[in-house]
A and B are shown apart, each in its own frame.
Chain A
Amino acid sequence: MGLLSLAIWVPIAFGVALLAFGRDEHARGVRWVALVGAIVSFLVTVPLYTGFQNGTAAMQFVEKASWITRFNVSYHVGIDGLSLWLVLLTSFTTVVVVISAWEVITERVNQYMAAFLILSGFMIGVFAALDGILFYVFFEATLIPMYLIIGIWGGPNKIYAAFKFFIYTLLGSLLTLVALIYLYNKSGGSFDILSWHKLPLGSTAQTFLFFAFFAAFAVKVPMWPVHTWLPDVHVEAPTGGSAVLAAIMLKLGAYGFLRFSMPIAPDASHEWAWLMIGLSLIAVIYVGLVALVQEDMKKLVAYSSVAHMGFVTLGFFIFNELGVSGGIVQMIAHGFVSGAMFLGIGVLYDRVHSRQIADYGGVVNTMPKFAAFALLFAMANCGLPGTAGFVGEWMVILGAVKANFWLGMGAATALIFGAAYTLWMYKRVYLGPVGNDHVKELSDINAREFLMLSLLAIAVLWMGLYPKPFTAAMDASVTELLRHVAISKLPS
């Protein structure tokens, strides 16, 4: 079994094993097994980075085996510069999420941990799949654990949120399935994604495919105006669920644009780029403003996620190297930062059981260590240089300015809104005099929470101070992608 397969199946195997544990008497053991499973799964992905060859756009760690012969479907996995970091991000986040749930989840612990481990394997599968059906299977399968996570361990309105999440994302992906089958028939019976990249397609077909993919990926990202499920889901989901959702699941959509929409339907992508850019700008500016007026911390961060993901899609559809790389860097950075923001909110919520900004104030007085972490992540969220948040946004803005000055201007204003809502929230929650009795009784973070936040802080700073490993790995793949997108696939 190759490294990539291990990366996919080790967490799933651990997750399934956890399901056999049964009831909560064994919670202690379950937590340790889950942690070991998450760490092992992470360690398995590390050689993917150390063994990764920069400077080539070819797929690496490729494994291929026949799977469903009747439809010529194969178990075909491999990663390139576009997916490498997303795989690592996934396995890393899973470790953090397991730590974050340690004492917080006391009911059905084994199912909780199992859901996250299995989800982790599925998501790595999405980033690694090179076969259309394999991709779809993993893409859809992620819905099941997430649905259960939201519905079982979520807040008071969890059922509404779980259904909304499921139905919204299912609608999109079902249309994508039709597109995949269409491509299968067009290509003469192949589900190989890479061979689809070379397929000549007429302009109607491309438009049809572009929008079929758009249905799945735009909902997942989520782009304005199909983003409304995200705040609802975030508010109800348990902390770990929110963290994984924001850190990784949203990236499944953005990744889909890179792997499917742009290379398979390049002419349609160019034709409809105005739409994508327009929607992205609305997400960046309008949703940024919406975030400003939120009173619930989770909702605020959720809207800020929509705005940040707007940057990602904006970067992709300006079709230059800086923009696309910037978008990918922004995906990774947002993974770390938004994960950290949600986990931070979780820390507060565990103590006070409220996410209303108004219920806090002066937290820095009682939780100084925590407030320091929160400040770092808030700064990263505003894109302060030296943090992860800066690199991607800066690259996208540069790319946008290159494409069109006014486009760059529009994107750049988002930084102002980003700073505004993040810092204002920080001020209202952490600074000033102690707001009320709840805050007065708060105890600072314990060793476990310290560990969890440190891991993320290291990632955020590392990426901010030394982004080279991230960009170096993706350069060749981005160049190759852009070369693909530049060539018309219309049959002459």
Chain B
Amino acid sequence: MIDKLSWVAIYPEVVLLVMACIIALVDLSSTSAQRTRTYILTLLTLAVVAVLTGIAANDGKTVYGFGGMVVSDPMGNWLKCFATVALMVTLVYGRPYAADREMLRGGEMFTISMFALLGMFVMISGSNFLLIYLGLELLTLSSYALVALRRDNAVASEAAMKYFVLGAMASGFLLYGLSMMYGATGSLDVNEVFKIIASGKVNHQVLVFGLVFIVAGLAFKVGAAPFHMWVPDVYQGAPTAVTLLIGAAPELAAFAIIIRLLVEGLLPLAIDWQQMLALLAIASLLVGNLAAIAQTNLKRMLAYSTIAQMGFMLLGLVAGVVNGNTYNAQFAYSASMFYIVTYVLTTLASFGIILLLAREGFESEEITDLAGLNQRSPLYAGVMAIAMFSLAGLPPLVGFYAKLAVLQALIASGQALYIGLAVFAVITSLIGAFYYLRVVKVMYFDAPVTASTVSAPRDVRTVLSINGLLILLLGIVPGGLMTLCANAIVATLAN
């Protein structure tokens, strides 16, 4: 029986779960204010998990386990690997911030974020509607707790409340949609559902009705307009370290479940969900880019920027199936995957800088708080500028290639409508360039408020420098990561 269970498909998850429990226990006996022991143990565990998933991903094998409940494939393993690294980086950036704000009186930040990661892993490797949903709930429950970590802070509590209520509603949508799929097809297994729908013996209307709810639920989770209302409030209200926790790594998992549910499970309904995603993308690009201009709060601006970026990412998924033909699918979906991976990389850098500046005793949330950063620290201003230009999609930074890949996928479809979408995306990103530029403007052109230089612990400084450099280097040689994403998607589509 053991081999039928295929533990090999889930051993990173097992390591994560066991270690999370052990670390929680170890933390009970730890007294140090900074939680050094917990911190180091967590990072070590994550490093091991990242290596494990990296090795599995590099194998390129697809393994199903537990009666097809979970799947370990290159796409999932790469996403897990990236998500783990992203969480490590998040914890490095976030620890000094959290320590300053007495969020480290207990070790919850570390252990809960490990459980959140476990949730992401389950989402990513779930090959069954129910399991994917369970993973999602584990992630979101952990996230609610993290947002509320500063429970004496009214703003954070309010954000947690909003996040919880809207998140629960989204989960409800998703669950409702999934149950309708079950009702129509009689199966919860992703591959099974695909086959049943492809056979064409299912009532199309019920399917589409369920699909609407699934897409709405997913849109909530990635923060696509018009289901984006929670994003600005939660980004702004949550402690910045937690904003990064919920804004970076989980996006990778969200991408994974979109692929698992919509592509692997519901590809025969592509014509229907592509239309829905196209509308979501258009709305997100418009709402995100336009609303971001008006923001003075940096975290809120980045929240709207996230909405817009997600819109762009969704565009990649729109062009996968053309006239019932899937020749464009691998280009389109790998473009989206590349987009989301590079987006997370860039988000880490930009929030890393905010966290760094926020340590100087105030929150550093306003865009004007960055004033004259170049005079105070050319290095950090440089990293932030690279992140902003990359988000704006300017070469030679990696964000450009992400946009290029998505636009290419749209135009390669040869459909006039999709080419129009590409032009629309381009014009809205021009609007986007305006507010990213404003951040650069403030850092480079304005006079600093204080003359003090910015200092950071060595680990933060090193990781931030590497982070900024990667955005630039991947912009100069983007080929490797692009090929990686392409191969991963091809392997997933082959199943």
Binding site for B on A (CB under 8 A): 19, 22, 67-71, 108, 111, 133, 136-137, 140-141, 143-144, 147-148, 151-152, 158-159, 162-163, 166-167, 170-171, 174-175, 177-178, 181-182, 184-185
Check if B422 sits within 8 Å of A178, measured CB to CB.
yes
Check if A181 sits within 8 Å of B437, measured CB to CB.
no
* Nearest-Cβ distance from residue B409 to partner chain A, whole angstroms: 10
A136 to B395, CA, bound (A): 8
Check if A152 sits within 8 Å of B408, measured CB to CB.
no
Of all chain A residues, which has the CB nearest B401? A68
Q: How large is the interface on B (under 10, 10 to 19, 20 to 34, 35 or more residues)?
A: 35 or more
Q: A69-B483, A163-B434, A170-B433 are in contact. Are A185 and B411 (CB under 8 A)?
A: yes
> B365-417: which residues lie under 8 A (CB-CB) from chain A?
374-375, 378, 382, 389, 394-396, 400-401, 404-405, 407-408, 411-412, 414
A130 to B427, CA, bound (A): 26
* B327 beta carbon closer than 8 Å to chain A: no
* B145 beta carbon closer than 8 Å to chain A: no
* Nearest-Cβ distance from residue A406 to partner chain B, whole angstroms: 38
Check if B479 sits within 8 Å of A70, measured CB to CB.
yes
On chain B, the residues within 8 Å of A67 by CB distance are 477, 479
Check if B445 sits within 8 Å of A151, measured CB to CB.
yes
Check if B408 sits within 8 Å of A181, measured CB to CB.
yes
Task: A70-B486, A184-B408, A185-B412 given; name 20 further pairs at CB < 8 Å.
Answer: A67-B477, A68-B401, A68-B482, A71-B404, A133-B404, A136-B395, A137-B396, A140-B394, A141-B394, A159-B445, A167-B430, A167-B433, A167-B434, A170-B430, A178-B426, A181-B411, A182-B419, A185-B408, A185-B411, A185-B414
A200 to B482, CA, bound (A): 30
* B68 beta carbon closer than 8 Å to chain A: no
On chain A, the residues within 8 Å of B423 by CB distance are 175, 178
Per-residue CB contact flags for chain B residues 452-482 toward chain A (1 = under 8 Å, else 0) read: 0000000000000000000000000111001
Check if B479 sits within 8 Å of A22, measured CB to CB.
no
* Nearest-Cβ distance from residue A27 to partner chain B, whole angstroms: 15
* Nearest-Cβ distance from residue A216 to partner chain B, whole angstroms: 12
On chain A, the residues within 8 Å of B437 by CB distance are 147, 163, 166-167
* B444 beta carbon closer than 8 Å to chain A: yes
Check if B441 sits within 8 Å of A71, measured CB to CB.
no
Of all chain B residues, which has the CB nearest A21? B378
Check if A151 sits within 8 Å of B441, measured CB to CB.
yes
* Nearest-Cβ distance from residue B370 to partner chain A, whole angstroms: 14
* B125 beta carbon closer than 8 Å to chain A: no
Of all chain B residues, which has the CB nearest A125? B396
* B429 beta carbon closer than 8 Å to chain A: yes
A81 to B206, CA, bound (A): 66
Between A and B, 26 residue pairs with Cβ closer than 8 Å are A22-B378, A67-B477, A68-B401, A70-B479, A108-B375, A111-B374, A111-B378, A143-B394, A144-B389, A144-B394, A148-B440, A151-B441, A151-B445, A152-B444, A159-B441, A167-B433, A171-B427, A171-B430, A175-B426, A177-B426, A178-B419, A178-B426, A181-B407, A182-B419, A184-B408, A185-B408
On chain A, the residues within 8 Å of B444 by CB distance are 148, 151-152
Of all chain B residues, which has the CB nearest A69? B479
* Nearest-Cβ distance from residue A269 to partner chain B, whole angstroms: 22
On chain B, the residues within 8 Å of A174 by CB distance are 426-427, 429-430
A478 to B483, CA, bound (A): 40
Per-residue CB contact flags for chain B residues 96-138 toward chain A (1 = under 8 Å, else 0) read: 0000000000000000000000000000000000000000000
On chain B, the residues within 8 Å of A140 by CB distance are 394-395, 400
Q: A137-B395, A175-B423, A184-B408 are in contact. Are A68 and B433 (CB under 8 A)?
A: no
Contact of B433 among A71, A111, A166 (CB under 8 A): A166
On chain B, the residues within 8 Å of A182 by CB distance are 411, 419
On chain A, the residues within 8 Å of B430 by CB distance are 167, 170-171, 174
Check if B396 sits within 8 Å of A141, measured CB to CB.
yes
On chain B, the residues within 8 Å of A159 by CB distance are 441, 445
A184 to B411, CA, bound (A): 10
On chain A, the residues within 8 Å of B441 by CB distance are 151, 159, 162-163
On chain B, the residues within 8 Å of A137 by CB distance are 395-396, 400
* Nearest-Cβ distance from residue B192 to partner chain A, whole angstroms: 33
On chain B, the residues within 8 Å of A71 by CB distance are 404-405, 408, 482
On chain B, the residues within 8 Å of A177 by CB distance are 404, 407, 426
* Nearest-Cβ distance from residue B315 to partner chain A, whole angstroms: 13
Q: Which residue, B382, B414, B426, B478, has most C-beta atoms of chain A within 10 A?
A: B426
On chain B, the residues within 8 Å of A70 by CB distance are 479, 482-483, 486
A178 to B445, CA, bound (A): 32
